Amino acid sequence: MIFGRFKSFWTSFWMRFAGLSRAGRVAMWLATWFVPPFSGRCILARMNKRGYVSWSATVYHNNLILGDNIFIGDRVIIYKDSEGGPVELGKRVHLYGDTCIQTGQGGSLTIGENTHIQPNCQFSAYKGSIHIGKEVQIAPHCAFYPYDHSFSAGELIARQPLTTKGGIVVGDGAWLGFGVIVLDGVRIGKGAVVGAGAVVSRDIPDGAVAAGAPAEVIKMRSAPSNIENGKTNGKK
């Protein structure tokens, strides 16, 4: 009982000083001493408006905008090269371990509030933008590429320019299964579900269920108007 109270006091005390400064990162590390790893540390993000950033996460980005109570897990990388655009994480966004975010050549990333990104996802925001809506669920090992690479004959591919068709948009409430790859110029609609291993190379309508490589709509989970209103008629 006494030790339990001490652990609670220890954690809450150090989370008062949480932040992205070196001192703030040390304070968050100290706060983890009696807290379980991985998702068990999500509770820390609720203890301070500045949220929780793992000591092992790498943040190398001078245009990072963080909403209240964000969670950035172990070994997450948020990186900006010399021409990269902003990264904005909304309130209560969760980025779990080993997820990598890069912005370069004018690319940018926005993730809406209450969206959860599971481990080992890749966001390479070069040339185009990536916009992830609110309440989106993204399973492990998903990848997002809002650009294409030229491959004309007569020149090394590494020397050819990147192009974009306008970036990527994932609508509010969408759910992407394990290993989904989302390519440039795609919009995934509100409340849509994309099955594991799909390659999304064209738009998915609101409320659709899609699967395959390339991904194709296989059924509708409910009317788009109900999805937009936050209702699904009890269907999943």
Degrees, nearest 5: CA angle 185-96-24: 115
What pLDDT score was predicted for residue 236?
38
- Regarding the domain delimited by 56-228, which CATH topology (the fold level of the hierarchy) does it fall under? UDP N-Acetylglucosamine Acyltransferase; domain 1 (2.160.10)
From-to residues of CATH 2.160.10.10 in the chain: 56-228
- As a whole number of angstroms, the longest Cα–Cα distance in the chain is 73
Number of other CB atoms surrounding residue 30 within 10 Å? 15
What pLDDT score was predicted for residue 232?
43
Q: How far apart are the first and last CA of the chain?
A: 43
Tell me: pLDDT of 211 over 80.
yes
d(CA 192, CA 173): 7
> Average pLDDT, stretch 13-20?
96
Among residues 184, 60, 194, the alpha carbon closest in space to that of 204 is found at: 194
Which residues are known catalytic residues?
A: 149
Residue 98 tokens, joined: 């080993």
Backbone phi, then psi, for 25, in 5-degree steps? -70, -40
Between residues 197 and 148, which one has the greater pLDDT? 197
% the chain with pLDDT above 90: 84
Tell me: pLDDT of 229 over 60.
no
Tens digit of pLDDT for each residue in 65-116? 999 999 999 999 999 998 999 999 999 999 999 999 999 999 999 999 999 9
What pLDDT score was predicted for residue 144?
98
- pTM, 2 dp: 0.90
Laid out side by side, the sheet with 143-144 consists of 58-60, 77-80, 100-104, 122-126, 143-144, 181-182, 199-200
> Average pLDDT, stretch 221-225?
63
Residue 128 tokens, joined: 């185009």
Q: How far is CA 5 from the centre of its chain?
A: 34
Tell me: pLDDT of 234 over 60.
no
Tens digit of pLDDT for each residue in 180-200? 999 999 999 999 999 999 999
